[in-house]
Each structure stands twice: as structure tokens, then as C-alpha cells.
Amino acid sequence: MKKIVLCTNVQRDGDFSFTGQVKAMLEEKGAHVAVCPVCGEHWRDPGFETLPLEQALPGADLLVTLGGDGTILRIAPQVMGYEVPLVGVNLGHTGFLTELDRSNAGLLLKAAAGDFTTVPRMMLDVEIRRGGERVFFDTALNDAVISGIVQNVHLTAMGDGSRILAFSGDGVIVSSPTGSTAYSMAAGGPLVEPDAEAIILTPVCAHMLAARSFVLGPERTVKVLPSDVSDGRRCVLSADGRGLIDLLDGDEVIVRKSAHRLLMADLGTKSFYETAFEKLGERA
């Protein structure tokens, strides 16, 4: 019997009505289903048992998120080390990570039967070093963003000790291929196939004509150094949008390829190019 974990974003399916339908559909085919509410602290009683995600993950064969891309970003660090394939059902707005939506959620039966291709997604380890000591660490699926608040900031970006960029502007994005379709793309960065391995460095509103996006090899270590922060300019770091961490003058933000990865279950419904055109391209 396959064990399937449903991660319900309670902000998208607050009454668990859609979750209940998916749960019943999978159980009818003999699956053991665990429901884990995420992305909220309070929710209605769904009428069936729920579990914390960390309790449901051991032994799981498939992880299904019911929400949007943000749901996947939220739980990605929690599932590291389990090597459980994940497929997302989009209950929100535009999504690149979620392959399914309400209209074709029946394809979850195909996923439950193991009829999918497992595609690993590269992740990024993000840390802040202050005075030689690590004061912050996180792992991101999409990106690490170093940015100013209200005012522009002075940033220097290094790759393995060599200077890549030095400029004043709104900030810089260090993204994975998965994150290349998010903020990095909006800032003028390239689209990179999600199963590739690379680190994309994209300046945001740089006051410098020569400041362009760079695609670096996956083994590069990127270091971003903010300066002149102490004169009233506020500079912050955000990893996958999970809160803001204030940076101080002299801090080092270090981003490198993580040893962890997220496994996505690809059902073959659309290619990356078809998804990009559908979500971003002009419609005929």
C-alpha cells in the first residue's frame, strides 16, 4: 500500500473540501493518505485526522502539495533528506512548480501508481557570516535576495574570490534554475531549465549600464558584500521569501549549491517551454 502525504495550504483550502475529495479518491485506490496542514496555524476541523509534516514524512512514497508555488517553497526545507518525490496541485495563481490544478487533479492517481519521472531540483545553501561567525543559515529552492529598504544599497558580488559585480542599486538576486522563472526573471535574468545546475546572479535596478545577469557554474561559491549600511541604509536578506534578515556593514552573504535537492514527480503533462509560454508568453 502506497503512503501518500497531502500538504494542504490552509489559506487556499481552509475548509479542507478539496483535500477531502483528493483523500477519498486516493484511498479508494488503496493508498494510505496522511493529511498535513501547512502555511497557517489555525484551521477548521476537517473531520479527519491530521498530522504534523515531520511525523508523516517517514516512509512516504509521494508528497502532494495542495496550494501553489509558495506552498512548495515553504515546505521544501522540511522535506530535505527524505528523498520523497513531490507533485503540486495549484489552487492559487500563476505557478511554475505546481504541475496540476483542480481540473486535472485526477492525474494524482497516475502519480500514486508511480507512473512519473523523478526530476531532481538543485537547492541553494544560504548563510550570513559576521565577524567570521555564522549567524544565519537556510536552504532555498528558488533564491536568496539581498536588497535595500527604501534606499538603494552598495553591493559587491564575488565568485570564488573574484569580483563579478560592484554597483549601487535596489539589490541582487542569487537564484537556482528553479528560481530563474521568479524574481530573477522579472529583474531581467535568463530563464534556465529547472533540471539544469547553475547559479544565476541578477542585479536589480543597478545604477550601472554594464551590470548584467551572470550564469555561473554550480560549483561556484557566491559571496555578496553590502557596504555603507550603517549610515542609515537598511539592507536585508530573504531566502525564498521567508522573512527579512537585517544585514550589517561587513557582513558576508554566502550562497552555494546545497548537498540537498528536491525531487519533483514529473507526470509529463507539459514541457518547461510549454509552461513558460502559457504562464508568460503572449496568447494568440
Active site (catalytic) residues: 69
What is the C-alpha to C-alpha distance for residues 41 and 33, in angstroms, rounded to an integer?
A: 21
Q: Which of 132, 210, 196, 198 is nearest to 166 (CA)?
A: 210
CB-CB contact of 257 with 170 (8 Å):
no
Buried b (16+ CB within 10 A) or exposed e, 212-230: ebbebeeebebbbbbbebe
What is the C-alpha to C-alpha distance for residues 23 and 17, in angstroms, rounded to an integer?
A: 10
What is the C-alpha to C-alpha distance for residues 200 and 45, in angstroms, rounded to an integer?
A: 43
What is the C-alpha to C-alpha distance for residues 177 and 121, in angstroms, rounded to an integer?
A: 8
